[in-house]
Amino acid sequence: MASSSKTGSRHPLRALAAAAVAVIAVAMAVPAGVATGQDQGIDRSVIPMAPDAPSRYVVQPGDTLWDISTKFLTDPWYWPEIWHVNPQVANPHLIYPGDELALTWVDGRPQVTVASGGNVRLSPRVRANPLSEAIQAIPYDRIAAFMSRPAVLSADQVKGAPYVAHARDHRLITSVGNDIYVRRLSDGAVGNRYSIYHVGDELKDPDDGDVLGYQGLFTGEADVNRVGDPATLRVVDSARETLEGDILLPIEGIEKLSFVPRAPGSKVDGTIMSVIDDRTVVADYDVVIINRGARDGLEPGHVLEVWEAGEEVRDITENRASREVQLPDERNGLAMIFKAYDRMSYGLMWRSDREVHVGDAVRSPGAGS
């Protein structure tokens, strides 16, 4: 059989591969950023891309998913809209240091994919590094204590909880090595360990006055030495003194943070009702407590906008239309939910544009004032 003189005919697979590379190169050459309308088939008004969004980015140690999403987007809760998952990966949201992320445009819409892995990658399906080395959604050290030792106790947790009825040797204050007598510990077993909390001030819903929970102050941990009513426990760790009336709760396991920043699926309109450490002014990385939770559709990873209520001021100009003027609400920052109870949630403050206060509103992104 005579051979063809055309290279493409002799090597059809090579020609197809070259064409694919050319298509990818053209896609990668399109600059990323915010624009309006169409440009070479790209609809930049669909997703709010960052003006300086990189075409490629190598994930660095210490990065968080929030950090990475803000490199590509002006509004990080759009991350699920641009992250192109590989269906062959068990957890498609896992990203590792050394991964190279590529921004491309497909049918006018942006996509971010893992273009190549770091030195730890063995193949597209196998990695040498453990899941624990995957980047977190937010700085875990900021919220670790709240995952294992809640600073907010729900009304259900407090109601009917085991409590310290007395201390051995009539001690008014107990610490490490002291024994305490606990009632209502019906399911306790010798060797079990419990966290001890002092129940603080009530957390009331500013909308209806309902008590949603209580401030919780971790005092220590204790092991069960003898079951019964009362049971005998020995304090093995102490952060502060344990008092009569303090409650005991099972030690919570640390929850894995596999969520991604995204907008709630339903409209949320709530209020910051408390700030950890009893501060009234909030800054980045502070933890706030809002009066909306799982029953309102909130889940870990949901992003809410924080709004300061506009003041009512007096117009003292000569040409005033009216004497009293209601100023508009102003957006102050963002909060990401990282733990949701039934009617309240923990949120981590991000991108605070100015001071955030207890009483400020939290709303679904785009809901406005």
Highest mean pLDDT among 117-126, 157-166, 251-260, 277-286: 157-166
Q: What is the pLDDT of residue 87?
A: 54
Co-location of 86 and 123 in the same domain: yes
For residues 318 and 153, which has the higher predicted lDDT (pLDDT)? 153
- Structural domain includes residue 158: yes
Same domain for 193 and 153: yes
- Is pLDDT above 70 for 360? yes
Residue 4 predicted with pLDDT over 60: no
Domain end residue (candidates: 82, 106, 135) = 135
Tell whether 129 and 152 lie within a shared domain: no
Q: 39 with 128, same domain?
A: yes
Residue 120's identity, in one-letter code, is: V
Q: Give how many domains the chain has, as a whole number.
A: 3
pLDDT at site 279:
60
Predicted local confidence at residue 86, as pLDDT? 56
Examine the domain organization and report whether 166 and 119 are in the same domain: no
Q: What is the mean pLDDT of residues 267-294?
A: 82
For position 214, which CATH number holds? 2.40.10
Question: Quick check: 91 pLDDT over 80?
Answer: no
Asked if 112 and 182 sit in the same domain, the reply is: no
- Average pLDDT for residues 269-292, to the nearest whole number? 80
**Mean per-residue pLDDT, 112-119:** 74
**201 and 232 in one domain?**
yes
Query: What local confidence, expressed as pLDDT, does residue 267 receive?
Result: 94
219 & 304 share domain: no
Residue ending a domain, choose from 250, 279, 297: 250
Identify which has the larger pLDDT, 28 or 51: 51
For the stretch 297-355, pLDDT in tens is 999 889 999 998 888 888 888 777 778 888 888 888 899 898 888 899 988 887 776 77
Residue type present at position 315: D
What range defines the domain where residue 280 resides?
Answer: 269-363
| Structure-token pair, residue 90 | 């068990």
- Which pLDDT tens digit goes with each residue over 242-268? 999 999 998 876 555 556 788 999 999
**DSSP H or E stretch at residue 339:** strand 330-340
**Could you tell me what percent of the chain has a pLDDT over 70?**
72
| Domain assignment of residue 227, yes or no | yes
Mean pLDDT over 22-35 rounds to 34
* 263 in any annotated domain: no
Give pLDDT, residue 280.
Answer: 58
Asked which of 198, 215, 250 is the last residue of a domain, the reply is 250
Using the predicted structure, report yes or no on whether residue 17 has a pLDDT greater than 90: no
Supply the CATH number for residue 314's domain: 2.40.10.410
Preceding omega of 230 cis (within 30 degrees of 0):
yes
Flag whether 46 is in a domain.
Answer: yes
193 and 109, same structural domain?
no
Round to whole Å and give the CA distance between 10 and 4. 6
Residues 6 or more apart whose Cβ sits within 8 Å of residue 347: 272, 287, 288, 289, 290, 304, 335, 336, 337, 338, 362
Q: What is the phi/psi pair of residue 107, to 5°?
A: 55, 40
Does residue 9 sit within a domain? no
Is the model's pLDDT at 39 over the cut of 80? Answer: no
49-83 pLDDT per residue, tens:
988 999 999 999 888 888 898 899 988 888 888 88
Q: Kindly state whether residues 38 and 128 are assigned to the same domain.
A: yes
The mean pLDDT of the chain is 77
pLDDT value of position 364 = 93
Q: Is the pLDDT of residue 14 over 50?
A: no
Same domain, 175 and 198: yes
In a domain, 17, yes or no: no
Range 273-295 average pLDDT:
79
Q: How confident is residue 196, by pLDDT bands cut at 50, 70 and 90?
A: very high
Note whether 313 and 339 are same-domain residues. yes
The average pLDDT across 21-30 equals 33
Instruction: Return the percent helix, strand and coil in the chain, to nearest 5.
Output: 15, 35, 50
